[in-house]
Each structure stands twice: as C-alpha cells, then as structure tokens.
Amino acid sequence: MGDLSGKVALVTGGASGIGTAVALEFARHGADVAIVDLLVGEAAREVLAAIQDEGVRGLALQGDVADRGRADEVVADVRERLGGLHILATCAGINRDAVIWKMSAEEWDAVIDVDLSGTFHYCQAVAPIFREQRYGKIVTISSINGLRGKVGQVNYAAAKAGVIGLTKALAKELARSHVNVNAVAPGFILTPMTAAMSAEAREAAIGEIPLGQAGTPEDVAALVAFLCTERARHITGEVIKVDGGQYI
C-alpha cells in the first residue's frame, strides 16, 4: 500500500494476537516494524519473518512493558537500528479475571502494571522524541469493557478505562507538536486471550454482537493502521470501537 513508507513503527505485545496483526498491517503499508514482547521465541521469529516478507525491515526485542527502564532501552534500540521512530501502537495486555471479592492483590497489580502502566511507560518514552521531531502517531488499545465495565473484570476494566483517560490527556499535551493520539476499543476479538475463555463465555460474548460474529485481530489492525496514516491527520483524542455493535 505504501502510505507508511519511510516510517518506523514500534508495537508492544507484537508476538501474538492483536499486536501481531497490527505489526503485519504496518508492514503491508510500507513501514519498518519493531515488536517488543515478554516472550521472544518461535512466535516472535515467525512474526519477524512475516514482516520482512513484506519487503521492509523488522526487529524483535524482548521486554516486559511493566518495566519502565526497559521501555527507554527498547525505544533507543529501535531508533539506533532502524534509523528513527514515528509510530507507537501499545497492544500488550493481559487479563486476570475474578469477581472483586475473589480477586487477589496480585491479580489486580498484574493487570494494572501491564495494561495501564505498560501503556504509560511506552507513551512516556516516545513523547519527547515525537515532540522534538514534531511528528508522531500513537494508538493505544483499550476495550469496550473500559467504557462499560464487565462482571469479573474490575482490574481489566479499570486499566482500560485508564488507558482512555491517558489517551485523551496525551492527545491534548502533544497536539501542538503535530502528534496524533487515539485509542481503539475492541469488543470480543478472537485472540489467544479470548481462546482461554470457556465455550459458554465465548458464546455469551458473541450473543451480544449485533453483527453475529466475533471480530478478528485484522479487524482491529486495519483501524490502527489507518489512524497512523496522513488520511487520519485531523483525528486525535478519539476512542473508536471495533466491536460489531457489541457496545450498543
């Protein structure tokens, strides 16, 4: 497609699920793509090969997004090895579901640390760079459950609601530097995370969707890529749902 040619993108959580789909969509649009993931094994190598098959440069790095110092190291490494950085997509996320009276402190902390603080760490790491170059695109991944809540997900819903607040505030902070910051809020998407749900829970989620089917990571990736092109240059601070109408 070519409308991201010459750009360098960094995708957190890029070795699986939505992160992989976003990384490959960026590559198809002509961007060089770095992924960072907690587990950089065979899956990450396959993603890296698929990125390079699109005729662009790729880079796979190991990192826990909950580690603030590692975020700075990853961003510096990407800039040194790929020659710059223009796009950040924060796709890393986990869930640890339980009703509040059964949720442990560890389950709360783990989700907040990865889903919310991890998003903050990488946004903070790229913000000075994007301000200085007066250009950048940031897309965070929230969830419709950050907008509506869900039984058994007080940690996840709180983290994803926090991502929305972070996104809106950051969009205001970086607007004068010509940096676009938007959030995408998926509904029920077929990913390794949702594959761990019971069949009954999956059927219930699909039953909420007016379009009658679960979404795919590629459905989300198409919007993320669009938001990083100049066709979306006048869109910032938005939260856009990709949910087949599930939120309605």
What's the N-to-C CA distance of the chain in angstroms? 33
DSSP one-letter string for 194-227: HHTS-HHHHHHHHHT-TTSS-B-HHHHHHHHHHH
The CATH number linked to 170 is 3.40.50.720
- Check residue 65 and report its DSSP letter: T
Q: Which two tokens stand for residue 36?
A: 């960072």
Task: Tell me the sheet residues that pair with 239.
Answer: 183
The per-residue pLDDT of the chain, averaged, comes to 96
| 106 domain-assigned | yes
Quick one: average pLDDT of 139-167? 97
Mark out the alpha helices in 145-186 (DSSP H runs). Answer: 145-148, 154-174
| 233 domain-assigned | yes
Please, how many CA atoms are within 13 Å of residue 185, restricted to the half-sphere of its CB?
25
pLDDT of residue 172: 98
Query: In the chain, pLDDT over 70 holds for what percent of residues?
Result: 100
CA torsion 163-3-76-168 (nearest 10°) is -20
pLDDT digits (tens, 9 = 90+) for 70-122: 999 999 999 999 999 999 999 999 999 999 999 999 999 999 999 999 999 99
Q: Which two tokens stand for residue 20?
A: 């992989």
Number of domains in the chain: 1
| 247 domain-assigned | no
| 1 domain-assigned | no
pTM: 0.96
| 220 domain-assigned | yes
| 37 domain-assigned | yes
Quick one: average pLDDT of 226-234? 97
Closest CA to 125 of 46, 61, 207, 188: 61
Does 1 score more than 70 pLDDT? no
| 2 domain-assigned | no
Does 2 score more than 80 pLDDT? no
Characterize the bridge pairing of strands 87-90 and 58-62.
Answer: unpaired
Residues with catalytic roles: 156
pLDDT digits (tens, 9 = 90+) for 166-225: 999 999 999 999 999 999 999 999 888 777 778 888 888 899 999 999 999 999 999 999
Residue ranges making up the domain that contains 75? 8-242
| 156 domain-assigned | yes
